[in-house]
Each structure stands twice: as C-alpha cells, then as structure tokens.
Amino acid sequence: MRFRPGGRIAGGAKPFLPGPVSLLERDGVAGGLIDDRVLLERIRGGDASGAEELFERYAPALLRFASRMLSDRETAEEVTQEVFVKVISRAHQYDGRAAVSSWLFAIAANACRDRRRRDHRASVVPLEAVAELPARGEGVEARLDGRQRRDAVRRALQGLSEEQREALVLARYHELPYSEIAGILGISVGAVKTRIFRAVETLKARFSEGETRWNVVN
C-alpha cells in the first residue's frame, strides 16, 4: 500500500479493512501528533516521503469516510488519492491549530463535496462495509434480519442532507468528538450537535413507520 500522486491507490482496495478509526490512527501510528507535524515539515521542505508516510497512517480511515459519503468505492479511492496530492501542495497552509488528522479529514470532506457536485450522483452509504460479523452459530434467519436492517438503514441515510450525513458519519463511524467534527466541518460545536440530533430524529421517524427499529448502534 503506497501513495502514487496522480494515480489510484496502489494495490487496490483489499488492504483497507473496515471499522472505525481509532485514537491511534487519528493521532499518528508511531509517536502521535508530534510525528504528524514533523512529516508535514518534511513535505514543506520538498521531501515527498512525508506524504507517503501520512498516506500509510491515514489513507484507510479517509477511504472509509469517502466510501460512506460517495457513490462507490472506486470514486472514494480517487478522492483519497486527491487528498494527499492536495496535502503536498497545501502543506504550507497548515497552521498547527488542529491535529493533522483533523486537517486531513477537512480536506477529505471538501473533496467529497466537490466530487458529489461534479458527478451529480446519488449518495450511497455502504454500511455493509462496516457491519459486524454474525456471531458464531447464528442462524440464517438472524443473518437475513441483520442484512435487511442494514439495507434499511442505508436507504434511510440516503435521505439525510449532506451536512447531516457528514456529521453523523464522523461521529458514529469514526468516533470523533464533537469539537473535532466542528473543526473538520468548519462549524460550531452547537451546529454539530444540531445536525446529529436532526439526523437521528429523521432516522428514528423513518424507522418508526416500519417494523425495523433504528438506533445509533445500527
């Protein structure tokens, strides 16, 4: 898995495993926030290997985010690659006020919005990519029920506004605190809470009309 400016993610999609981004991924794999900033300094000095190392650390999480915001995996891979191309050209714009991971998510969020406006595609949130594996011994009926529930949640999420979906995905699937989401999206913490509250209420209302219940762990 490596970064190739101007190309797709080397090696295809298989190296990227599903699951929420961890604190370790957010703050840097080896030494935390300080290492991330050192890598940016290397990029500013013309050392492209800094971008490659940041790619290794954060590409899986950013790919998961883009996959949930866009229409397909291939497009998400392209957007993830674009993020790190932009990092090289915009490294001088990082002011140090936020974690490098937050800055990367902000670039990714903007890139997803740009791509959606450009492509005019319907959004698909592939929840099956992050679904938990069925418990050992779980019967066929239980598996079908879980799949139907995930499909129902995916359809409901498509009905949310882009702003609500962004906030909910960052909070639910990437486990980011409201303060960090606010920095990524360029809004206040209060606005983040409002978007997530409205998203949850919309989803609850949608599912109250059918037999499937929705809650934040679906």
CATH architecture of residue range(s) 23-119: Orthogonal Bundle (1.10)
pLDDT at position 5: 54
pLDDT, residue 191, reads 96
Pair 4, 55: CB distance under 8 Å: no
Q: Is the dihedral of CA 85, 88, 93, 99 positive or negative?
A: positive
Closest CA to 76 of 9, 143, 176, 1: 9
What are the extents of the domains in the chain?
23-119, 139-208
Nearest CA to 89 among 112, 107, 68, 110? 107
Residue 118 pLDDT: 83
Q: Which class is 139-208 in CATH?
A: mainly alpha
| Ranges under pLDDT 70 in the chain | 1-34, 71, 120-147, 149-154, 208-218
Predicted local confidence at residue 135, as pLDDT: 46
Q: Same CATH topology for 23-119 and 139-208?
A: no
CA distances from 71 to 54, 83, 87, 123, 147 (A): 25, 17, 24, 5, 19
SS3 letters across the chain: CCCCCCCCCCCCCCCCCCCCCCHHHHHCCCCCHHHHHHHHHHHHCCCCHHHHHHHHHHHHHHHHHHHHHCCCHHHHHHHHHHHHHHHHHHHHHCCCCCCHHHHHHHHHHHHHHHHHHHHCCCCCCCHHHCCCCCCCCCCHHHHHHHHHHHHHHHHHHHCCCHHHHHHHHHHHCCCCCHHHHHHHHCCCHHHHHHHHHHHHHHHHHHHHCCCCCCCCCC
What per-residue confidence (pLDDT) applies to 3? 57
| 163 and 195 Cβ atoms separated by less than 8 Å | yes
